[in-house]
Structure 1
Amino acid sequence: MIEQNMKNLRKQVAPYEKSNTKDSIWQVINTLGPFFLLWYLAYKSLSVSYILTLALGIVAAGLVIRTFIIFHDCTHHSFFKNRTANKVLGTITGILTFFPYSQWGHEHSVHHATSSNLDKRGTGDIWMMTVDEYLASPGWKRLAYRIYRNPIVMFGIGPIYVVLLSNRFNRKGARMKERLNTYLTNVGMVLLILLLVSAIGWEAFLLVEVPIFLVSGSLGIWLFYVQHTFEDSYFEEDKEWEYVKAAVEGSSFYKLPKVLQWVTGNIGFHHVHHLSPRVPNYKLEEAHKNSVPLQNVPTITLKTSLTSLKFRLWDEQNKKFVGYKAVKTMSQSAIPRKA
């Protein structure tokens, strides 16, 4: 990225940080309304064709992602001006997406404050090792890392573990309000599931809900993954780390087709979101278009984003992601690595 006055970037996006109640309510309607309708149609289609059920489920899964973006904005207190309104809607959408509002909001805030900081990894992010860390690790840790970063594990088993298991428990050191919100989310989930099962039966519920859950979970983790895993990303040690650079150079602009941009709640403008989390999702594109420096950030497309699957480790010396083959070559070469 061409050198810009980074400090002025935050001032440029400041005008977009105010939410619009009318736009927020309309987004809730055009997201949850179609989702509930599609879920019902998927259930009714069980008597017609399960292929049709799966097709409807895939579309419904997209709306789960859009619902999660609303939840996500609420955790940043950017969806409504009123904090209580954000918490209420955030808790409701958290129940629908199986995420505890207060706990996830805390971890996500840490993620924003430490994103791309090599010395502050481990909270709200994906496990990432540097080349030197990997080379210095014992065999069991390398194997564990390889298993973790395997696409089948990350995008298949990962959503099941994070959403269904990890999200059900409070983090260590959580305050009482946060703990109570997690309990409320769990109880709300159980009551919702029991209501649906009592209405349509457990078999029909699973036939409809499982595909929606698996598809939305996999796509959700994929979005989070590509937002920070691209070849020339930005990672620095704490003493060299800069918030604005981490936002605009360490977060991608995922340029998606308009339909997918709508479904994903504009989260492809992730560089804008990291620069200013208070910008509601429906204003991210406008902020991007009206700030020239933000248009010169790392850009990925559906096609180019697939290359991120081969990126496994961060090479501190060359400032880019590399795969395991490149690491093997490094370890066999005579070029000394950082101790």
Structure 2
Amino acid sequence: MSQTKQLRKMIAPFEQNNQSASIRQLFNTLPPFLLLWLAAYASLQVSYALTLLFAALSAGFLIRSFIIFHDCCHGSFFRNRRANDITGTILGILTMFPYEQWKHSHNIHHAGSGNLEKRGTGDMWLLTVREYEEASTWTKIRYRIYRNPLVLFGIGPFALVVLGYRFNAKGARRKERMNTYLTNVSIVVLFALVIWAIGWQAFLLVHVPVFWISGAAGIWLFYVQHQFEDSYFEHQEDWDYVKAAVEGSSYYKLPRWMQFLTGNIGFHHVHHLSPRVPNYYLQQAHEAAPPLAHATTITLGTSLQSLRFNLWDDERRQFVSFREGIRRIAEGRQSGKSAGQNTDKASPAQTINPPVVVLKTNDKAASGS
């Protein structure tokens, strides 16, 4: 039996959701979120530092709510499709993500994760070293701004949710468009009711930190679980789904309380191997499949290194920093000049083969550009 089939067989028993576990998870997620939000509001009369503490805790449960939303998008939270759709739509209003739109883009992400020819939908903007070298000055500036941590995690939550997901993508299906409209209207109504009840200043003082903390943490989780040094990216002809899942998704080993708030999404390699596994079974699936122990493991400390991984080196198959990428570009140009000088000095018989080899190498590399 191939390793792929063996892994699938090991994971299969965990692809069945547990109705009781799903309902229990809703009850240990949504009420704590609401109560902590209300505690943050009540504490405005005491200390804003206390408000921020309650807001941070509330944000943790909003992240957990998003993980349930995420499972609904994969149809793994409930057995019934309609139950997934209704729950997902409601949680989409709470987290400000339109259910049908996000489900569509996220499924594209899963279908082509780690495939250099299928970047651009449901993932982070990523350039290879070669693409960065060939990019215009304006594209390089935009890419550097995008990859700046202050922009990515500071402005990112607002840009993504307030702007990015409020509009339908070109060519979106009617069902997707209607769901986006429903989500937008529902958010306006919900926020208007809360502002009517407590005032706009109190609403902003409480919900902006809740929204920003949960959004920044969500982007960080998505970022760090695919952007590690020896991640997996291949061109279409060499791309493999299982390798992309196991080698291109990390096991983010978090403290137990953080694992709880993030709905076990740290077992991201298991999730990409089988999106049908509900979040409350991800750890068990990981432990039941010994080959998954070889997945790249990162911790809170080591994950910070990913902040310097900005470009994918297609030749060495690893992430590099801007500085390292530019150094390798300079080395490539220098070696190209040296090769040109050697060619000028070579005899006609010696100049026949090298161009053929270069063309073969460039054809493969250029397919991702």
- Fold-level match, TM-score > 0.5? yes
Q: TM-score, normalised by structure 1?
A: 0.97
How much has 1:7 moved relative to structure 2? 3.0
CA distance in 2, matches of 1:179, 1:145: 29
For residues 138-149 of structure 1, the aligned pairs below 5 Å read 138-149=136-147
For residues 326 and 101 of structure 2, the distance between their equivalents in structure 1, rounded to whole angstroms, comes to: 39
CA contact (8 A) 1:6 1:245 kept: no
Offset of 1:328 from its aligned partner? 2.1
Q: Which amino acid aligns with 1:279?
A: V
Partner of residue 352, structure 2? none
CA distance in 1, matches of 2:203, 2:113: 38
Cα deviation, residue 158, structure 1: 1.0
CA distance in structure 1 between the aligned counterparts of 2:328 and 2:188, rounded to whole angstroms: 51
Counterpart for residue 136 of structure 1 = 134
Show structure 2 runs of 5+ residues with no match: 337-361
Residue 38 of structure 2 corresponds to residue 74 of structure 1: no
- Give the stretch that moved more between structures: 173-182 or 270-279: 173-182
Structure 1 match to 2:306: 308
1:44 aligns with 2:42: yes
Give the superposition deviation at 1:332: 2.2
In the other structure, the counterpart of 2:249 is 251
Candidates 99, 106, 109, aligned match of 1:108: 106
| Structure 2 counterpart of 1:231, from 229, 232, 238 | 229
Larger relative contact order (CA 8 Å, sep ≥ 6): 1
Q: How far, CA to CA, are the matches of 2:177 and 2:16 in structure 1?
A: 30
* 1:240, distance to aligned residue in structure 2 (A): 0.4
Q: Of 273, 291, 299, which residue of structure 2 is paired with 1:275?
A: 273
Q: Kindly indicate whether residue 19 of structure 2 is the aligned counterpart of residue 18 of structure 1.
A: no
Deviations 1:297-327 (A, max 9, x none): 1110000000000000000111100001112
1:331 deviates by 2.2
Moved more, 180-189 or 276-285: 180-189
SS at match of 1:239: helix
Quote the offset at 1:138 in angstroms: 1.5
Shift of 1:44: 0.5
- Whole-angstrom distance in 1 between the partners of 2:174 and 2:16: 30
Distance 1:115 1:332 in 2: 30
- Identity score, percent: 60
The CA RMSD measured in Å over matched residues stands at 1.1
Whole-angstrom CA distance in 1 between matches of 2:166 and 2:335:
47
- Structure 1, unaligned runs of 5 or more: none
The match for 1:27 is 25
Matched to 1:322, the amino acid is: V
- Compare 6-15 and 294-303 and name the one that shifted more: 6-15
Kindly indicate which of the two structures has a greater share of residues assigned to helix.
Answer: 2
Q: How far apart in 1 are the matches of 2:166 and 2:47?
A: 34
Q: How big is the shift at 1:330?
A: 1.3
Q: Within 1, Cα distance between the matches of 2:214 and 2:200? A: 20
* Residue of structure 1 equivalent to 2:160: 162
TM-score, structure 2 length as denominator? 0.90
Greater radius of gyration (CA): 2
Q: Which amino acid aligns with 2:27?
A: I
Tell whether the 8 Å contact from 1:7 to 1:244 is kept in structure 2 after alignment: no
Residue type of the alignment partner of 2:160: V
Q: How much does 1:80 deviate?
A: 0.2
The Cα shift of 1:6 comes to 2.3
Q: Is the contact between residue 129 and residue 329 of structure 2 (CA under 8 Å) also seen in structure 1?
A: no
- How far residue 176 of structure 1 moved from its aligned partner, in angstroms, is 1.0
Matched-pair contact (CA < 8 Å) for 2:157–2:216 = yes
SS in 2 for 1:126: coil
The letter for the 1-side match of 2:99 is Y
> Equivalent residue for 1:60?
58
Aligned length in residues:
336
C-alpha distance in structure 1 between counterparts of 2:58 and 2:212, whole Å: 11
Tell me how far apart the structure 2 counterparts of residues 251 and 331 of structure 1 sit (CA, whole Å): 27
Please list the CA deviations of residues 15-40 of structure 1 after superposition, one character each: whole Å capped at 9, or x if unmatched: 10011010000100000010000001
